[in-house]
Amino acid sequence: MNNRQLSYLIKSREFYKNELLENIMPFWLEHGLDKTNGGVYTCLNRDGSLMDSTKSVWFQGRYAYVCAYAYNHIEKNPLWLAASKSCIDFIEKHCFDTDGHMFFSVSAEGKPIRKRRYVFSETFAAIGMAEYAKAIGDAPYANKALEIFRNIRRMLSTPGFLEPKSFIPCKGHSTTMILVNVALVLMQVCDDPVLKEQIEESIFEIEHSFLHPEYKCILECVNPDGSLIDTCEGRTINPGHGIETAWFLINAGERLGNRTYVDLGLKIFDWQFDWGWDKEYGGIINFRDCKGLPNQDYSQDMKFWWPQCEAIIASLYAYKVTGDDRYLKIHKEVNEWAIKHLKDQQFGEWFGYLHRDGSVAQPAKGNLFKGPFHIPRMLTEAYLLCNQIISK
């Protein structure tokens, strides 16, 4: 690392911390946190005003996680800890159905609105509780997280519990990859062999089913034997999603001392970045087709906030474990593009939905899918990564 690189990393580290402390965390504490019913609202307009009081169950867990994560690594801010606890209490009071499966959305007061055929509400509740348990050194919350984790595995392995959308059986990358991250978060506070088992199972699946060397990409949905489903949906590459997987694997490799996971993560990052980076306009594009056909998702050529965040994290991880300048160059490119186009200089927080050319498609700060998760997680992760690289 030369001096120019060092000073770039020092400046970046400061930016991430300041952005978290001065912009993102205050925005959601002020506008998102529900002081009446507990939990967090995410459907906020550009200026933070509430557009819709529907509560995303994903975000109760995600915000619980992010607040505790920032508390554990950035600053012992009691407001963050209280916000985390508020979301966890809301989850426990309102977000579980009688069959143990969680809702997808509930009203401001916690009345069920929608339930979906997935376990993402559960994965986010689990990481929220585990990171909170770490913050307060509390075993009961760690046990609750582990119980949710075991329940996820039970739901996924019970035929018919989660009614499939299609008559044609298929396997999804989303659930597989997220469980790597969930297990890693839980490992901090839970000592149970099921967590390492899950990581090994998931990474085996990623390598042998979802990674397709013939297209140099991760596919989101494959046949049960891992082969390509040759439809518009089956050929879909979600570059940002695989980039997120890449840093989950590098992280798993570091934590478990397994170099093959790190190498797999690096390969996935290289391939997915290649599919995702838009050489004409910059930014990570939403979707591609592995055979180069026109992807049929309406938002295929848009640039969403979260793939940019994942690429910022993954490129720093890749630089940290390889020292290869190429990754720092990629990091700089993505980072600059993201800040330039996503950060709202006028009302704070970041935009979520950009056109291909980087112009803002609509300026709301949140909805049921955007809220306080990818951006503050990225700012915290990136701060820590810069720190680790600088201290080496």
Residues contributing to the site for a copy of itself (CB under 8 A): 43, 45-46, 51-54, 111-115, 165-168, 230-232, 293-296, 298-302, 353, 355, 361-364, 367-368
> Which residue reads 């940002």 in tokens?
240
- Altogether, the residues listed in the chain come to a count of 392
CB of 228 to a copy of itself, least distance (A): 12
- Residue closer to a copy of itself by CB (options 144, 341) is 341
CB of 214 to a copy of itself, least distance (A): 18
Contact 51, 45 (CB under 8 A): yes
Contact 323, 1 (CB under 8 A): yes
- Residue closer to a copy of itself by CB (options 7, 362) is 362
- Residue closer to a copy of itself by CB (options 54, 77) is 54
CB count within 10 Å of CB 317 equals 28
- Residue closer to a copy of itself by CB (options 65, 373) is 373
Tokens standing for residue 163: 């009614």
> Which residue reads 């930014």 in tokens?
283
CB of 232 to a copy of itself, least distance (A): 5
- Residue closer to a copy of itself by CB (options 212, 332) is 212
- Residue closer to a copy of itself by CB (options 53, 388) is 53
Tokens standing for residue 75: 């600053």
CB of 59 to a copy of itself, least distance (A): 14
Q: What is the CA radius of gyration of the chain?
A: 20
CB of 114 to a copy of itself, least distance (A): 5
- Residue closer to a copy of itself by CB (options 260, 296) is 296
- Residue closer to a copy of itself by CB (options 144, 303) is 303
Contact 313, 330 (CB under 8 A): no
CB of 205 to a copy of itself, least distance (A): 23
CB of 273 to a copy of itself, least distance (A): 22
CB of 351 to a copy of itself, least distance (A): 10
- Residue closer to a copy of itself by CB (options 23, 300) is 300
Beta bridge partners of 218: 211
How far is Cα 149 from Cα 147, in angstroms, rounded to an integer? 5
CA angle, 53 as apex, 88 and 68 as ends, to 5°?
25
Whole-number Cα distances in Å, 326 to 63, 177, 319? 33, 26, 8
* DSSP letter string, 324-351: -HHHHHHHHHHHHHHHHHHB-TTTSSB-
Residues 6+ apart with CB under 8 A from 364: 43, 44, 45, 46, 51, 352, 353, 370
Whole-number Cα distances in Å, 21 to 39, 308, 376, 385? 20, 20, 10, 17
How far is Cα 117 from Cα 106, in angstroms, rounded to an integer? 16
CB of 103 to a copy of itself, least distance (A): 8
